[in-house]
A and B are shown apart, each in its own frame.
Chain A
Amino acid sequence: MNGHIPIHLNVNGQAHDLSLDPRTTLLDCLRERLGLTGTKKGCDQGACGACTVLLDGERVNSCLTPAVQCDGMEVVTIEAMADDELGAQVQQAFLTHDGFQCGYCTSGQICSIIGMLAEHREGRPSAVTEDLARPAPLNDAEIRERMAGNLCRCGAYNGIVAAIREVAAV
């Protein structure tokens, strides 16, 4: 029917059976179809990171992800972050270190941090990792490089680094 494609999507632990226009991005699906407006559209071009969500545990730009490609996958958005132990810690650390101003990039930053910490735990290197044979310590240079895909125009970068330092040290 109208070229729509049926998919099954698990979002924040809830199952959804949807019939979607193949042009619909995961971002627009979350926001306009499922009413999960916590995920933001900043550029719709994969350049700002405001739309970052976790897809089967990996951080992705949901604006560049066609929703119909996510059939059978699990999506975690900012709305479920408080239910996750690490997610709640990051949220608290953002409050403590003033890791945001207007709040528009914040959902993407927090989802991105969860994904980034998992990448680091798995020993994946970044562009500034010196020694590829060994796990890199999560120092400031590593944090900054690994979070460079999430823009913040208000300039809360220092607070975000401080929040990550705190959470990573635990």
Chain B
Amino acid sequence: MTFISRSYGLGTRVLGKVARLLPDGRHDPLSTRPGEIGRDLHRLDGPAKVSGGIRYTADHVPAGLAYAVAVPSTIAKGRVTAVETSRALAAPGVLLVMTHENAPPMKPTGAYATLRAPVGAAAMTLPILNTDRVFWHGQPVAVAVAETQEQAEHAARLVEVRYAPEPAVLSMSEEAAYTPAHSVLEESRTVVGDVRAGLARAAATVRGVYSTPAEYHNALEPHATVARWDGDDLTVHDASQYPYGVKEMLAKKFGLPLDRVHVLAPYIGGGFGGKTCAWPHVALTVAAAKLAGRPVKLALSRTQTYLMTGGRAPTRSRIQLGADAQGRLTAIVHDALATCTTDEFAEAAIAASRHLYACPNISAHQRVVQVDRIQNAFFRGPGVAPGSFAMESAIDELAWELGMDPLELRLRNEPDRDPVSGNRFTSRHLREAYLLGAETFGWHDRATLPRATRDGHWLVGQGMAAAINPDAVLIAAVRLRLSADGTFTIHSSTNELGAGTSTAQTQAAAQRLGVPMDKIRFLQGDSDVAKTRIPGASAATTTLASAIWNARDLLVRELLKLAQGTPLTGLRAGEVETRDEGLFARDGRGVTYRRILELAGRDHVEVTGKSAVPYQTLKRTTSTYGAHFAEVRVDDDTGEVRVTRWAGAFDGGRVVSPRQAASQMRGGIIQGIGMALMEATLLDERSGRVVNASLAEQHIPTQADVPDIDVCFVDRPDPQTPLGAKGIGELGIVGVAAAIANAIYHATGKRVRSLPISPDKLLS
């Protein structure tokens, strides 16, 4: 362990003690009140989406637009010795070729993903196209700009790059592994109790090595940027989950004041974490627009999304578990390894091992290997999704070893406090989720032995696994505007990834302000609204709700000032309620919003509300939970696996928008089915080249791979979160791969410990 990681560990322990003195989360009165929250509604942006009416980034075609195409490097490490651009420049319609020799200077920025300097969305610190160095295979080494997309693509192929290659580190070797100073959202090294003693007194033990490959988000919308300079004003449409972070990054890189940079991303075509960070092409588009003196659009090709944006790091986990004869865990040992780059974004595969089960002896250790690849990225359940495959498979193996139902084993190890910190939970209803899921699925009907159910050449089995994901409230501000006609506009920098944010926020705000939903317009994805740091992290619902709650309180104060000479005179903010489209005291006195503005002669009132500091999440452990129940059929002759039934039960606090929430859980489960059975980004470890950089060679689940999926929620409000809700965007994928691996074991008697579980692994 390095000095830095020791001090980090010490620092977090001291902080942990201090944090216990902090206040709990402010109880949100809305969290238990019936109303718009929890109503089953269609998406508000639905009509626009089913008619092709939403404009995503690449749909913008400003006047005078030029098209840019990036040229990928063909070595993993070394130097560019020459870029021959004359053939490209001579091709029809070509405006320029940008290389490291003529690109405008772009100041280095911190890497957002490391969370050490969480300012700006830059994916990496590396100075792409301001250096002759090559850091990975597929790095942009030139950008061709032309009048049309076809001409730019042709020109990019005519650019000849010569290199001086150097040896690259491309494999995840034990020898190069070290403990990172900081793993994402988890401590890198945890020791509780004495695992040796715990294993020694165990009645049953299991041990295994589990591996997961590199995986990609594969959002259907490839990354794209459209940049336009007007003097020193820069307007950028970007397929980003984090518009404010892109604004900060571009301001820094191009030496502009923040208020001259405008980033717009109202809608994006799927993110899943892949659009949290701004990958190098974003700044390169801006630089190309500067050189060209025209607006420029750069849309990555599907192939380039695997080269010029990052994905989930591969992982390898060694797990050892011990339990007494009653199934109570006596030891958990989890040593995890993942890759990262020089920016050291360490995905923590150890989360499930640290927080899921009560156990007096826990040793969890995350190590990393730095490789010469594009930096890895946040991807739905970073660390915890691959790590839970390992842990939840091992728990299943332990259940077989003990001769105990895996559901019963989990119920016997459900903790009252966080097993690592000893902190209390803000709320935890995993037990209810287990029982709800088991009931929905019909778990208790399953055969007690593996390989016991056959239907022709199909072997049938059922498996289960738990899900967990950290919950967070982050930083956001919203502008709330009340107009003279009694309608509200809410401006948010955070945008709609497809999760239903605009619908959920409109529901919650309607109840918060006491107006019907059609009186509220929710506008999103404009970086100029206010400082807002919600890059994803399943945090949009609660963070925006917190900001709107604050805005509501500020608005009430403003309106009471304006309402002198009305029945509201003399009342304080705490004495009025926002209901029936106005402010009303408990005795029924009140005035409508419209009337208040009319009497005051005001056209509108506007306030800016900020999300509250989430002290409760420092003081207590706050996570979301779930249980997956899966049925698979495995072809005994070919090894083909079909998922035929699914039930997922989840505890995500109060459910704000049930239809959208259920759809989001299904989406996570379906990505998990892909992770379990087919998804892998293959790297040639000699050259650093991605071998299967296309959707034809890198499979994700299709319509034909997915059964009807039952989703249910415990739906109990968390007493300490805004709306009583928690973020559920990532939870659905966690544990899915293990549930499938466990079902495959039940069907076939074969335990597969490496993902994806392709047919060859079942035929051996």
B residues near A21, Cβ cutoff 8 Å: 148, 150
Q: Are A98 and B670 in touch, CB under 8 angstroms?
A: no
Q: Are B500 and A40 in touch, CB under 8 angstroms?
A: no
Q: Are B706 and A41 in touch, CB under 8 angstroms?
A: no
Cα of A107 to Cα of B54 in the assembled complex, Å: 11
B residues near A48, Cβ cutoff 8 Å: 220, 302, 695
Q: Is residue A57 contacting chain B, with contact meaning CB distance below 8 A?
A: no
Distance of B293 from chain A, by nearest CB (Å): 21
What sequence of 0s and 1s flags, for each residue 308-332 of chain B, a beta carbon within 8 Å of any chain A beta carbon? 0000000000000000000000000
Q: Is residue B149 contacting chain A, with contact meaning CB distance below 8 A?
A: yes
Interface-located stretch among B187-195, B243-251, B696-704, B737-745:
B696-704
A residues near B269, Cβ cutoff 8 Å: 40, 102-105
Cα of A149 to Cα of B702 in the assembled complex, Å: 7
Cβ-defined partner of B302 (8 Å) among A43, A96, A104: A43
A residues near B150, Cβ cutoff 8 Å: 21, 23-24, 28
B residues near A47, Cβ cutoff 8 Å: 302, 694-696
What sequence of 0s and 1s flags, for each residue 103-114 of chain B, a beta carbon within 8 Å of any chain A beta carbon? 000000000000
What sequence of 0s and 1s flags, for each residue 138-172 of chain B, a beta carbon within 8 Å of any chain A beta carbon? 00000000001110001000000000000000000
Q: Is residue A9 contacting chain B, with contact meaning CB distance below 8 A?
A: no
Q: Are A151 and B660 in touch, CB under 8 angstroms?
A: no
Interface size on B, residues (CB 8 A): 64
Q: Is residue A2 contacting chain B, with contact meaning CB distance below 8 A?
A: yes
Cα of A82 to Cα of B47 in the assembled complex, Å: 10
Cβ-defined partner of A159 (8 Å) among B52, B500, B663, B704: B663
Distance of A84 from chain B, by nearest CB (Å): 12
A residues near B662, Cβ cutoff 8 Å: 98
Q: Are A154 and B667 in touch, CB under 8 angstroms?
A: yes
Distance of A85 from chain B, by nearest CB (Å): 15
Are A104 and B51 CB-contacts (below 8 A) given A43-B694, A95-B42? Answer: no
Tier of interface size on chain A: 35 or more
B residues near A149, Cβ cutoff 8 Å: 702
Q: Are A37 and B706 in touch, CB under 8 angstroms?
A: no
Cβ-defined partner of A101 (8 Å) among B53, B500, B694, B705: B500
Closest to A77 in B: B52
Distance of B61 from chain A, by nearest CB (Å): 6
Are A37 and B52 CB-contacts (below 8 A) given A102-B497, A155-B671? Answer: yes
Distance of A58 from chain B, by nearest CB (Å): 19
A residues near B500, Cβ cutoff 8 Å: 101
Interface-central residue, A35, A42, A147, A156, by most chain B CB under 10 Å: A42
Q: Are A144 and B499 in touch, CB under 8 angstroms?
A: no
A residues near B270, Cβ cutoff 8 Å: 101-102, 104, 153-154
Q: Is residue A78 contacting chain B, with contact meaning CB distance below 8 A?
A: yes
Distance of B478 from chain A, by nearest CB (Å): 22
Cα of A110 to Cα of B669 in the assembled complex, Å: 23
Q: Is residue A158 contacting chain B, with contact meaning CB distance below 8 A?
A: yes
Are A42 and B221 CB-contacts (below 8 A) given A95-B42, A101-B667, A154-B667? Answer: yes
Considering only residues 32-65 of chain B, those with a C-beta below 8 Å from chain A are 42-43, 45-56, 58-59, 61
Q: Is residue A160 contacting chain B, with contact meaning CB distance below 8 A?
A: yes
Q: Are B51 and A78 in touch, CB under 8 angstroms?
A: yes
Q: Are B663 and A98 in touch, CB under 8 angstroms?
A: yes
Considering only residues 40-72 of chain A, those with a C-beta below 8 Å from chain B are 40-48, 50
Q: Is residue B756 contacting chain A, with contact meaning CB distance below 8 A?
A: no
Closest to B221 in A: A104
Distance of B156 from chain A, by nearest CB (Å): 13
Q: Is residue B203 contacting chain A, with contact meaning CB distance below 8 A?
A: no
Cα of A148 to Cα of B270 in the assembled complex, Å: 19
Cα of A94 to Cα of B700 in the assembled complex, Å: 22
Q: Is residue A91 contacting chain B, with contact meaning CB distance below 8 A?
A: yes
Closest to A108 in B: B220
Cα of A28 to Cα of B220 in the assembled complex, Å: 17
Distance of A147 from chain B, by nearest CB (Å): 4
Q: Is residue B222 contacting chain A, with contact meaning CB distance below 8 A?
A: yes
Cα of A155 to Cα of B219 in the assembled complex, Å: 11
Considering only residues 115-156 of chain A, those with a C-beta below 8 Å from chain B are 140, 143-145, 147-156
Distance of B266 from chain A, by nearest CB (Å): 12
Are A98 and B703 CB-contacts (below 8 A) given A38-B53, A47-B695, A156-B663? Answer: no
Q: Is residue A31 contacting chain B, with contact meaning CB distance below 8 A?
A: yes
Cβ-defined partner of A32 (8 Å) among B149, B221, B660: B149
Distance of A89 from chain B, by nearest CB (Å): 11
Cα of A143 to Cα of B46 in the assembled complex, Å: 23
Q: Is residue A161 contacting chain B, with contact meaning CB distance below 8 A?
A: yes
B residues near A159, Cβ cutoff 8 Å: 663
Q: Are B704 and A42 in touch, CB under 8 angstroms?
A: no
Q: Is residue B299 contacting chain A, with contact meaning CB distance below 8 A?
A: yes
Distance of B514 from chain A, by nearest CB (Å): 27
Q: Is residue A17 contacting chain B, with contact meaning CB distance below 8 A?
A: no
B residues near A94, Cβ cutoff 8 Å: 46, 50
Q: Are A98 and B660 in touch, CB under 8 angstroms?
A: yes
Q: Are B43 and A98 in touch, CB under 8 angstroms?
A: yes
Distance of A90 from chain B, by nearest CB (Å): 8
Q: Are A105 and B695 in touch, CB under 8 angstroms?
A: no
Q: Is residue B267 contacting chain A, with contact meaning CB distance below 8 A?
A: yes
Interface-central residue, B47, B51, B53, B268, by most chain A CB under 10 Å: B51
Q: Are B498 and A148 in touch, CB under 8 angstroms?
A: no
Considering only residues 451-506 of chain B, those with a C-beta below 8 Å from chain A are 496-500
Closest to A90 in B: B50
Q: Are B664 and A101 in touch, CB under 8 angstroms?
A: yes
Cα of A48 to Cα of B269 in the assembled complex, Å: 13
Distance of A98 from chain B, by nearest CB (Å): 5
Q: Are A160 and B61 in touch, CB under 8 angstroms?
A: no
Cα of A35 to Cα of B65 in the assembled complex, Å: 13
Known: A28-B150, A155-B667. 14 other contacts (CB 8 A): A38-B51, A47-B696, A98-B42, A98-B662, A100-B49, A101-B663, A102-B269, A103-B54, A104-B219, A105-B269, A153-B220, A155-B668, A156-B666, A156-B667
Q: List 20 A-B contacts (CB under 8 A).
A: A28-B150, A37-B55, A43-B222, A95-B50, A98-B43, A101-B663, A101-B667, A102-B219, A102-B267, A102-B496, A103-B50, A104-B219, A104-B270, A151-B700, A153-B218, A154-B667, A155-B663, A155-B701, A156-B667, A157-B670
The 6 closest A-B pairs by CB, nearest first: A38-B52, A102-B498, A104-B269, A155-B667, A103-B49, A155-B670
Q: Spell out A's residues near B (CB within 8 Å).
A: 2, 21, 23-24, 28, 31-32, 35-48, 50, 77-79, 81-82, 91, 94-96, 98, 100-107, 110, 140, 143-145, 147-161
